[in-house]
Structure 1
Amino acid sequence: MDFDEGSNIQSHRLSLTGKSTLSVVSLHSTAVEICEIVYGEHSSSYDAVERFYEASASKENPLVTTTSRTMLTDVLHISRQLSVINVPRPLAVIYSFFRLQVPDNLSSPWIHALRAWTEIDDICESESFDGHRKTIVEHTLNILIFPDIHTDTGTPARSVESAPPTPTSQRAPLHPVHPSLPILGTSLTVPSPFHLRLRIITRFSFNEQGRITHHRDIWDVKDVMGLVPGVSLAQWIGTRLTARGLSYASRAWFRTSGTQSSTPETDAQIRELENGHGPSSSPAAEYAKSTRNDSVDSTVRNFE
């Protein structure tokens, strides 16, 4: 290979590397925006579906599976309504029932019942030779019930370095880091049982045009069950008791069946076996003993 050919190959690799790096940033931005759309409070959900998804793209999770972009848009419309649930004022309900204009002083919600958002934890990507790429996003869905009664005892979390900055007009409102319940009459707070967290792994499949062809959300059964108050503690105790019980059962099983591994011999027993004085010395050990004795006798005679 001459120098010119090697230079061309090296420059071609560099160009591919630069192109791949640019694509990684673009796909990371798409993945973060989609996660905020599905589980957050992003405002451009319908435009993003048209821009980022193929017409026949599918989305699935343990509860719902969509097979088209139109169906996905309808599902996202419902999920967006469930991300923020407010209880209106009774008079506002009466005005709305009679199709009257609600006064401005009654337009604000009576109770903020629920608020949901997602926190991006990590992003990684893999690339195949046919131009298709997969991006995996690890994020946490936060569900806060009655957010107005909570206080935030944490500091703002550092954003993911790989995620590009979001325009100010599209930034979601700040969310509490550690929602806690204050104890009346004191300055102390306790962890809130109304703050539920669900860890999710989202996997995106992109085609060579950079559009999503498959979107899958993976939930762990343990994390889903942990959403029920008290189940996390029961899981923590139950899993450890189960492991301890299986350990005892395994030892008892091998002990009764006689297949338990024998204990290692002591140093004295090993030396006895090597010298041929063991309780059941083998013919090889007897031969080694006799050979060693003959060698010692011949050495003594030569010395004399």
Structure 2
Amino acid sequence: MTTAKKILVTGGAGFLGSHLCERLLGDGHAVWCMDDFSTGLEKNIAHFQALPGFRLLRHDVTQPLDVEVDEIYNLACPASPVHYQADPLRTLRTSVIGAMNLLELARKCGAFILQASTSEVYGDPSVHPQPESYWGNVNPIGVRACYDEGKRCAETLFFDYRRQHGVRTKVVRLFNTYGPRMRPDDGRVVSNFIVQALSGADLTVYGAGAQTRSFCYVDDLVEALVRTMATPDEVAGPINLGNPDEFTILELAQKVLAQTGSSARISHHTLPGDDPRQRQPDIALARQLLGGWEPRIDLDAGLRKTIAYFRAEGTG
């Protein structure tokens, strides 16, 4: 039987955060969902706000917080280029000052704290697939640096708080995740293609579409997060979490067109700055540490669920 805990999820009204809150509530825990709604949406959490054990905190993670909790999942940061590049200084404050505030809270409460880092810490990788031992190839002054370097700095903070103050930290690096509750305007490739296909607009492919990504369905990712939090104290990470199946962007576009039945065409555009050419996680460590965890929902099945969500939302 699971022992009920008090759990704080920052960024809890976002795409991934809302799925995590829902899972934790379903497991019988008390969940404090914290969000400033800069990118999170009320509708993502509307269907479980009335559940026992749920509490919404409207709060900016860059401001200190004083609550008593057992566990903290830090998902607070704009995660798509459109949103994190809109206000790069705010993105940096959220990643760095936000991490410090939550680490201080964890230190005070004696709570476990998990940092949702990102595959973007690897930059445009020269090692493929990317293992946790790879230090990355990041442009520290580019247009994506506010996110890439903000997340890298947050990882540094987590390991220094662990070494200096004994805070019980865990760091995971999330690769492309998709599913229901993605914002239609977030600029991520899966949501972009689905929205464009359903509305009959040309699908925007940058370059020839030969760059690769690996797409993990949200339910698989949430399962990995929960399993990571349950690992022994000595497991600090970083741990790659994602689906190792690799696809070109052009292949993804063709799958979306086929599943939506859209007559839209593919339109090629100039590659944006610092866009990674390859992205594929090495998840050997996750398999080893997370009780045989493995992504179970393949891209075709995940796209069907995600397209159905956008159709139900009236997209197109």
More strand by share: 1
The structure number with the bigger radius of gyration is: 1
More helix by share: 1
For normalisation by structure 2, the TM-score amounts to 0.25
